[in-house]
């Protein structure tokens, strides 16, 4: 390649993942608020909508029958059972965004991130975590969105997910009250990836 051959970078498939309670949703929400030029994938799920969530913005809330139809028609990049409910990433969103030249950001759990890695080895995987297991447990308890049994399961799962760090390309500690710093680190990683000599190329 000539040093003057300045190619337009390929769109990136960026996965924001990590255990429950580390602030993945907050990171993605702040990126949306700052109007970063990415396509943010909306996950389909069969779980019940929480009071502060909006259909089509936070998730696509669908019935189990509708989710089964999406599986049968091969409309999902990946799907999994998470705490008794199904979650999945619709393929059409990603393909449409790539066709328009946009980077795609998806916020998914650790299990889903590893599935995406197998399907698209050139995806960019970013692991969000917090300072310690103790801090993670504290955050989960403070959310007060779970029953006692559900909370215990979520804490145990989160501890296991912390051990999956080697499957990722980057790790960012999301310190309490430093959300903007975390978002800037994500943005810097994406900017650096676009300057690589050998660009990532994702096909789905």
Question: Which positions are annotated as active-site residues?
Answer: 50, 143, 154
Q: How far is CA 188 from CA 8, 10, 164, in A?
A: 18, 17, 23
60 CB-contact burial (10 Å; exposed 0-12 / middle 13-18 / buried 19+): middle
Query: Model confidence over 89-112: pLDDT tens digits?
Result: 888 889 989 999 999 999 988 988
What's residue 5's pLDDT? 53
Which residue would you say has higher pLDDT here, 77 or 170? 170
Strands laid side by side in the 76-82 sheet: 59-61, 43-45, 85-90, 76-82
What's residue 69's pLDDT? 96
Question: Hey, is 170 helix, strand or coil?
Answer: strand
Task: Show the domains of the chain with their CATH numbers.
Answer: 13-41+102-193 (3.40.50.300)
What's residue 1's pLDDT? 47
Query: Model confidence over 116-175: pLDDT tens digits?
Result: 999 899 999 999 998 877 777 777 777 666 667 777 887 888 888 888 899 999 999 998
Which residue would you say has higher pLDDT here, 7 or 19? 19
Cα–Cα distance measured from residue 114 to residue 111, given in angstroms and rounded to the nearest whole number = 5
* pTM recorded for the entire structure: 0.82
- Phi and psi for 172 in degrees, rounded to 5? -130, 130
Query: Model confidence over 13-45: pLDDT tens digits?
Result: 999 999 888 889 899 999 999 988 899 998 899
């Amino acid at each position: 390649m000539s040093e003057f051959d300045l190619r337009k970078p390929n769109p990136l498939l960026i996965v924001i993942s990590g255990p429950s309670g580390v602030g993945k949703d907050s990171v993605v929400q702040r990126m949306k608020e700052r109007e970063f030029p990415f396509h943010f994938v909306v996950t389909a799920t069969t779980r019940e909508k929480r009071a502060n969530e909006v259909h089509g913005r936070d998730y696509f809330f669908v019935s189990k029958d509708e989710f089964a139809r999406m599986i049968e028609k091969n409309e999902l990049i990946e799907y999994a059972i998470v705490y008794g409910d199904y979650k999945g990433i619709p393929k059409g969103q990603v393909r449409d965004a790539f066709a328009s030249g946009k980077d795609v950001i998806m916020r998914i759990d650790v299990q889903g991130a590893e599935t995406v890695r197998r399907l698209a080895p050139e995806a960019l995987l970013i692991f969000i975590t917090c300072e310690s297991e103790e801090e993670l447990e504290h955050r989960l308890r403070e959310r007060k969105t779970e029953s006692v049994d559900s909370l215990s399961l979520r804490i145990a799962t989160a501890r296991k997910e912390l051990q999956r760090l080697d499957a990722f390309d980057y790790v960012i500690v999301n310190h309490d009250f430093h959300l903007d710093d975390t978002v800037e680190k994500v943005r810097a990683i994406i900017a650096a990836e676009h300057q690589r000599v050998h660009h990532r190329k994702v096909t789905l």
